[in-house]
C-alpha cells in the first residue's frame, strides 16, 4: 500500500460558548490515501463539517482546534504559521463548499473568482494564459467558456457548484474537501455535480473527503466511509463491506435507515437523539441509544480498533455483531425512526 497523503491524528476541536465548552471533534484519527474517496457521514451536529473545515484550519471563534496533528504530505498543517497555511489552501488542499448558492461573490465575474485564487498563489500567468486556463477549468467541469463572463446570479445552482469545483481543482490540490457539496441542489442535479466532482478528481489525481449525511449518495461515490457520532469516529471501513455488514450498532442503524438500501428489512429505529455535546454520557457515547449495549459500555469507552482487515470499529461488541449476535431484547422499542436529517442542527458550523 502507498503512503497516505493525509494523516489525521487525535484531532480535537472545541467550541467555547458562554454556557460551556463543546467538544465538537473529539480525538479524530484517520489516514487518507492518494486518489482515494473517503466519506465522512453523520447526523447534524456529529462534528463532520467541523472536522472537515479544521483540516483547512478554517474554524472560527468560538471554535478552536485544541490538539492533534493534520499531516499533509509530510507537513503538519496545524504547526504552520497563518501565512504558510494560506499558501496551502487551494494549492494543496481545497474546499468545495456547502452553500453552493451563496459561495460565490455576487458582484464579481466568474472569471475573476477563478483567477483571484491563481493570482494570490503567485502562479504568474500571462493574461492570455489566464483566459486559456479559465476556459480549460470550466470545460473540465462541463461549462461553456461564456460562463467566465457571467455573474453568479446568471447561473443555476448546479452551475454555481460546478464553478466551485473548477475553483477547487484550479491549482491541482492533493486533497479536495467536499462539504455536503450538493445539499442545496435537487436530486437530478446532485448526481451530475457528483459525477463532475469525480471526473475532476480523477483527472488531477487528488484524494477527496466527502462530507455528508446522505448514505445513498455516499454509496455511489466513496471507496471508504467513516461514520461520525458526537465528534468521534464510530466505524471506518471500506464502502462495500460496510454496507453489507456494518459492525458498529450506530453504523448499522444508519445504513438500515437508508431507504434505497434497506431492502432486506423493515427500517429499524433507535430511541433518543444525539447527546448534548456539553454533557456527554459516560462510557461509549452511543450506549444510551444502543440496542447492543452491555454494562461495560456505560462506563468504558472503546476507541477505534481494527476488528477485521481494513475495518476499524469503536465498539466492545464488534466481534459479537460480526458473528451475528442478536440485539438486546426489548431494546429497540422506539418511536421515531433515526434519520440523519431529523435531528436539529446543533453545532455552529452546520447551522
Partner 1 sequence: METVKYLVRRFAFLVLVVFAAGTLNFFLPRLTGQDPIRSRLLDEMKNGASFASGISDLVKVYDEKFGLDLPLWHQYLNYLGDMSRLDLGQSFTSYPRTVAQLIGDALPWTVGLLTVTTLVSFALGSLLGALVGWPKSPAWIRAIAPPVFTLAAIPYYLLGLAMLWLFAFELHWLPGSGGYRIGTIPSHTWKFAFDVLQHSVLPALSIILSSVGFWALSMRSMMVGITSQDYVAMAEAKGLTNRTILVRYGLRNVMLPQITALALELGYVVSGTILVEVVFTYPGIGLLLFNSIKLADFPVIQGIVFTLIVSLAVATLILDLALPFLDPRIRRRA
Partner 2 sequence: MADATIANTTNEPRKASGSAVKEVLGYLRRNPALAWGIGLILLLVLFFVFATLQVSSFTEYRPLSVRPRLPPSLQYPLGTDTQGRNLLALNALGLLGTLSIGLGAGFIGVVVATLLAFIGAYFGGRIDAVIRLVVDIGLSIPTILLLVIIAIAFHGLTLWQMALVVSMTAWIRPTRIIRSQVLSLRERAYVEVARMSGMGGLEIILKELLPNLMPLIFANFVASITHAILASIGLEALGLGPADNPSLGTIIYRVILYQGIIQGLWWWWLAPIVLIILIFIALFLISVGLDELADPRLRTTS
Among residues 127, 126, 102, 120, the alpha carbon closest in space to that of 171 is found at: 120
Could you give phi then psi for residue 89, rounded to 5 degrees? -60, 140
d(CA 264, CA 129): 55
The site string for partner 2 over 4-23 (x = CB under 8 A, - otherwise) reads -------------xxxx-x-
Tracing cell 479544521 back to the chain, one arrives at 54
Give me the least distance between CB of 276 and partner 2, in Å please.
4
d(CA 286, CA 318): 14
Residues 6+ apart with CB under 8 A from 120: none
351 binds partner 2 (CB under 8 A): yes
Segment lying near partner 2 (by CB under 8 A), choices 104-112, 234-242, 275-283, 311-319: 275-283
Q: Tell me the three cell numbers of residue 166.
A: 473548477
Looking at beta carbons only, is 51 or 315 nearer to partner 2?
51
Looking at beta carbons only, is 23 or 161 nearer to partner 1?
161
Tracing cell 477505534 back to the chain, one arrives at 304
Among residues 297, 317, 294, the alpha carbon closest in space to that of 307 is found at: 317
153 binds partner 2 (CB under 8 A): no
Q: Which does 19 bind (CB under 5 to 8 A by kind): partner 2, partner 1, none?
A: partner 2
Looking at beta carbons only, is 39 or 348 nearer to partner 2?
348
Q: Which does 278 bind (CB under 5 to 8 A by kind): partner 2, partner 1, none?
A: partner 2
Looking at beta carbons only, is 122 or 279 nearer to partner 2?
279
Segment lying near partner 1 (by CB under 8 A), choices 102-110, 238-246, 268-276, 326-334: 102-110
Kind of pairing, strands 63-72 and 75-76?
antiparallel
Give me the least distance between CB of 248 and partner 1, in Å please.
31
Helix residue ranges, H only, the chain: 48-55, 82-88, 110-120, 127-140, 157-168, 187-204, 215-221, 239-244, 249-256, 318-322
128 binds partner 1 (CB under 8 A): no
Q: Tell me the three cell numbers of residue 108.
A: 464579481
Looking at beta carbons only, is 89 or 311 nearer to partner 1?
89
60 binds partner 2 (CB under 8 A): no
70 binds partner 1 (CB under 8 A): no
341 binds partner 2 (CB under 8 A): no
Segment lying near partner 2 (by CB under 8 A), choices 115-123, 167-175, 271-279, 306-314: 271-279
310 neighbors 237 (Cβ within 8 angstroms): yes
277 binds partner 2 (CB under 8 A): yes
d(CA 271, CA 125): 58
Give me the least distance between CB of 16 and partner 2, in Å please.
12
Looking at beta carbons only, is 19 or 153 nearer to partner 2?
19
d(CA 92, CA 51): 17
d(CA 306, CA 314): 9
88 binds partner 1 (CB under 8 A): yes
Q: Which does 17 bind (CB under 5 to 8 A by kind): partner 2, partner 1, none?
A: partner 2
d(CA 249, CA 174): 33
d(CA 175, CA 84): 17
141 binds partner 1 (CB under 8 A): no
Please report, as ranges, the residues that interact with partner 2 according to CB under 8 A. Answer: 17-20, 22, 275-279, 344-348, 351
Please report, as ranges, the residues that interact with partner 1 according to CB under 8 A. Answer: 56, 58, 86-91, 94-95, 97-99, 102-108, 112, 116-117, 119-121, 151, 153-154, 164, 167
Amino acid at each position: 500500500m502507498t503512503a497516505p497523503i493525509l494523516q489525521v491524528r487525535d484531532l480535537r476541536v472545541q467550541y467555547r460558548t458562554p454556557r460551556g465548552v463543546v467538544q465538537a471533534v473529539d480525538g479524530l484519527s484517520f489516514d487518507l490515501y492518494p486518489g482515494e474517496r473517503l466519506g465522512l457521514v453523520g447526523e447534524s451536529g456529529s462534528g463532520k463539517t467541523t472536522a472537515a473545515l479544521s483540516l483547512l484550519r478554517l474554524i472560527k471563534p468560538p471554535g478552536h482546534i485544541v490538539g492533534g496533528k493534520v499531516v499533509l504530505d509530510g507537513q503538519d498543517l496545524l504547526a504552520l504559521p497563518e501565512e504558510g497555511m494560506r499558501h496551502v489552501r487551494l494549492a494543496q488542499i481545497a474546499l468545495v463548499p456547502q452553500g453552493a448558492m451563496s459561495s460565490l461573490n455576487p458582484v464579481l465575474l466568474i472569471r475573476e473568482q477563478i483567477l483571484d485564487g491563481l493570482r494570490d498563489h503567485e502562479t504568474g500567468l500571462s493574461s492570455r494564459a489566464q483566459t486559456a486556463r479559465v476556459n480549460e477549468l470550466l470545460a473540465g467541469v462541463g461549462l461553456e467558456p461564456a460562463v467566465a463572463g457571467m455573474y453568479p446570479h446568471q447561473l443555476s445552482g448546479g452551475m454555481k457548484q460546478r464553478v466551485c469545483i473548477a475553483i477547487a481543482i484550479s491549482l491541482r490540490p492533493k486533497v479536495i474537501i467536499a462539504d455536503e457539496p450538493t445539499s442545496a441542489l435537487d436530486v437530478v442535479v446532485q448526481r451530475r455535480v457528483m459525477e463532475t466532482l469525480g471526473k475532476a478528481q480523477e483527472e488531477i489525481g487528488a484524494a477527496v473527503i466527502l462530507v455528508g449525511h446522505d448514505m445513498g449518495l455516499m454509496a455511489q461515490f466513496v471507496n471508504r466511509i467513516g461514520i461520525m457520532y458526537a465528534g468521534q469516529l464510530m466505524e471506518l471501513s471500506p464502502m462495500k463491506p460496510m454496507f453489507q455488514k456494518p459492525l458498529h450498532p450506530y453504523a448499522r442503524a444508519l445504513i438500515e435507515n437508508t431507504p434505497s438500501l434497506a431492502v432486506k428489512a423493515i427500517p429499524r429505529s433507535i430511541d433518543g437523539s444525539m447527546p448534548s455535546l456539553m454533557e456527554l454520557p459516560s462510557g461509549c457515547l452511543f450506549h444510551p441509544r444502543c440496542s447492543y449495549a452491555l454494562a461495560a459500555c456505560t462506563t468504558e469507552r472503546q476507541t477505534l480498533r481494527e476488528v477485521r482487515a481494513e475495518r476499524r470499529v469503536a465498539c466492545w461488541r464488534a466481534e459479537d455483531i460480526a458473528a451475528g449476535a442478536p440485539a438486546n431484547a426489548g431494546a429497540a422499542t422506539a418511536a421515531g425512526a433515526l434519520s440523519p436529517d431529523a435531528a436539529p442542527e446543533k453545532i455552529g458550523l452546520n447551522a
